[in-house]
Every structure is written in structure tokens, then in C-alpha cells.
Amino acid sequence: MRVSFTVNGRAETADDVWEGESLLYVLRERMGLPGSKNACEQGECGSCTVYLDGVPVCACLVAAGQAEGREVRTVEGLAEGDRLDPVQEAFVECGAVQCGFCTPGLVVQAHDLIERIPRPSDAEIREALAGNLCRCTGYEKILDAVRLAAARKAAAR
């Protein structure tokens, strides 16, 4: 089947998509967007989190056909050209990136949180990121990055 949708602001089409193919597979393998990671394929780790019509979803759980006519925004789409989003910048600056496997999903989820709650409490940050697993950082640097990004975005408003 053919699936047409908008990815990071651009109209895209994937041909010969089979019924069981995930949105994650189409993004990574057909569209060359490797940011979202394929880890658990069960929606348990959050490494494949993308926006679907403005709502964070695990792309491994979304059938590609469900994206027909919809808008997808990946971690690559958060940046504006060569300029990283403040959340992306904060993750780098705070050392919240180690192996990098969980980072794209955490960045998208943190981005969504800060859009909804400009100055989130630590409890709100922890709750928002609860579906994203990281095996390397111990989460403190991730929390530092979200706090920094929220502070910078609030100051810029």
C-alpha cells in the first residue's frame, strides 16, 4: 500500500508498505530518519517516541498506515536547520547523552512536557519521562537537562 503523510513539515510518501509495517520502520528504513531508535518493539522503552498530530507516541506501536494524511514530527524535526532545539542543546550541555540510544525519545518527551508545562516541577518531569528507559545515565543528568531547557525556554518567552 502507499502511505502519504507529513514528516517534519514535508509531504512524504512511502510505497509498497505492508500491512504490519510500523511507522518506526518507515521513518528509519524508508525515509532515512534514524533518530528514533528501535529497541523493544513493544512500546516499553520510549526510544522511538515521535509526535503524531502533536501527541507523543511510540512509533513502534503505530502501524504505518495509521499515519496516512497525518503529521509526524521526529527528533530530527525539532531542530530548525542547523540550530538545535533548546531541549536538544540542554541534553548535550548537561551530559545527558551517553550511549544515545534513549536520547531521541527522551528529547521528544521532554520537548512535549515543556510545551505543555513551561516550568515543570521535578515530579512532573519524572512523570513525563516515566515511559522512557535509560540504562546509562542514572537520570540525574537527564533531569538537569530538562530543567535547563525549561528555564531557557521560559526566559525566551
The pLDDT tens digits of the residues spanning 57-97 come to 999 999 999 999 999 999 999 999 999 999 999 999 999 99
Buried b (16+ CB within 10 A) or exposed e, 55-86: ebbbbbebbbbebeebebbbbbbbeeeeeebb
Same domain, 151 and 120: yes
Q: Is residue 109 part of a domain?
A: yes
| CATH code (residue 45) | 3.10.20.30
Same domain, 55 and 105: no
Does the predicted TM-score (pTM) go above 0.85?
A: yes
Same domain, 151 and 96: yes
Same domain, 97 and 145: yes
Query: Of 43, 76, 109, which residue constitutes the final position of a domain?
Result: 76
**Which domain, by its residues, includes 54?**
3-76
C-alpha torsion sign, points 135, 141, 146, 149:
negative
Same domain, 71 and 92: no
Q: How many domains does the chain have?
A: 2
Same domain, 9 and 58: yes
Reply yes or no on whether the pLDDT at 136 is more than 90.
no
